Amino acid sequence: MRRLILGLCLLAAWIVPLSVMAEDTRFEPPGDESETLVIGSVTDLVFIEPLIRAFQRANPSTAVIYRQMTSLDLYAAVADACEKGEFFADTVISSAIPEQVRLVNDGCSEPFRFSLPPDLPDWASWRNELVGLTYEPAVIVYDREGLGQDEVPRNRFELVDLLRQTERFRGRIGTYDIQSSGVGYIFAFEDASQASTWGRLLESLGQNRAQLFCCSSDVIDGVRTGRLVLGYNVLGSYALARQEEDPRIGIVFPSDYTLALSRAALVSRHARNKRAANALIALALTDTGQRLLSGPSRLLSSLNGPDMLNRLDTGDGPSAEEAAFRPIALSPALLVGLDRAKRKAFLDQWRKSFQADGGE
């Protein structure tokens, strides 16, 4: 009896932390269940559900468990399971692409069992173990009722000028909390290396006591409700989908440059269902998968994303055709931003910029 109780306690100790971090959603198979596919991901379920449904139509005996977490929690859980040689998910899909590259680099993935499309851009894959499924620009979102059309910043230079009106915008600007968001960190780190305006922009965010959020959806909600006037470095996929529901949301593709990342997928080395994991990723790269990603979810596809963006009418700011898109390549170069010393120095600079001006 004592051993049974101890075993149950140990089991509970293992289950509770995972249940706190992860939100599991189960998709019952259309037919008789014979296998299960576990997906570890950061993507909001509503955006990826069409792909899951299409996968189950082609694989009617496969149940799907969608395990959603924040990007850094997902990375930590996958890395820990990998180190211990344990199962966590069959496939991992995340917008925190430096962490995905690290997982591949650390031997936590295995080569794909299908051929990648010949027209896949070079920046969208690495070592045949990591592939970018989407094409998602980092955009500026704004409240059309709170910002006049002639005030909409078309690039970072104009954004810095606009934010000089601190009495007007204090507490009403939103962006990622880069300490807790992997995608927020990579966008900020890339800005620091590519934008001559980075220092001034960071200072402006601090002076305006920018509100920090874990997720793009939270920033967009703030703009939609009028609590925020503007959001910086928001995932364009989420913003485009929300704009179709609420015309109050305006979107700007900065004309100086617009970063774009590709939500990357890998097959876990310790996957229990490697067949289904490969089948799901392969499906996302087919014509059907591209239509699903580029449809209402607006995740767009790494194969046709730029073309799709050029056809969109997003509002008062520069069109996608005017943006100088800079895709962030899946490569070992991304590991530089994860170097412990560099990351600490970068986050220290970030914190000081906000703390010096009373930011949160």
> What CATH number is associated with residue 289?
3.40.190.10
The reply to whether 146 and 282 lie within a common domain is: no
Assigned domain for 37 exists: yes
The reply to whether 154 and 98 lie within a common domain is: no
Assigned domain for 312 exists: no
pLDDT by residue (tens digit) across 206-215?
999 999 998 8
Containing structural domain, residue 29: 20-134+262-298
Assigned domain for 310 exists: no
pLDDT by residue (tens digit) across 173-208?
999 999 888 889 999 999 998 888 899 999 999 999
The reply to whether 165 and 65 lie within a common domain is: no
Which pLDDT value is given to residue 32?
A: 87
pLDDT by residue (tens digit) across 290-332?
888 887 777 888 887 777 776 665 555 555 565 688 999 999 9
The reply to whether 285 and 157 lie within a common domain is: no
The reply to whether 266 and 330 lie within a common domain is: no
* pLDDT exceeds cutoff 80 at 249: yes
The reply to whether 129 and 145 lie within a common domain is: no
Which pLDDT value is given to residue 304?
A: 75
Cα–Cα nearest to 3, from 242, 11, 308, 332: 11
Cα–Cα nearest to 285, from 132, 108, 57, 87: 132
Assigned domain for 360 exists: no
Angstrom distance (rounded) from CA 43 to CA 57: 21
CB-CB neighbours of 336 under 10 Å: 12
The reply to whether 95 and 191 lie within a common domain is: no
Assigned domain for 141 exists: yes
3-state DSSP assignment of residue 315: coil
Residue 32 CA: distances (Å) to CA of 58, 59, 63, 97, 278? 13, 11, 9, 36, 21
The reply to whether 243 and 346 lie within a common domain is: yes
Assigned domain for 64 exists: yes
Higher pLDDT among residues 118 and 354, named by residue: 118
Burial of 333: CB neighbours in 10 Å, binned 0-12, 13-18, 19+ = exposed
Assigned domain for 11 exists: no
Domain total for the chain? 2
261-280 burial: b if 16+ Cβ within 10 Å, else e: bbbbbbbbbbbebbebbbbb
Q: Quote the radius of gyration of the chain (alpha carbons, Å).
A: 21
Phi, psi of 68 (to 5 degrees): -100, 135
The reply to whether 179 and 243 lie within a common domain is: yes
Average pLDDT score, the chain: 87
Mean pLDDT over 102-130 rounds to: 96
Assigned domain for 294 exists: yes
Which pLDDT value is given to residue 283?
A: 97
Mean pLDDT over 147-169 rounds to: 94
The reply to whether 77 and 178 lie within a common domain is: no
Phi, psi of 87 (to 5 degrees): -85, 140
The reply to whether 349 and 226 lie within a common domain is: yes
Phi, psi of 348 (to 5 degrees): -65, -45
The reply to whether 281 and 247 lie within a common domain is: no
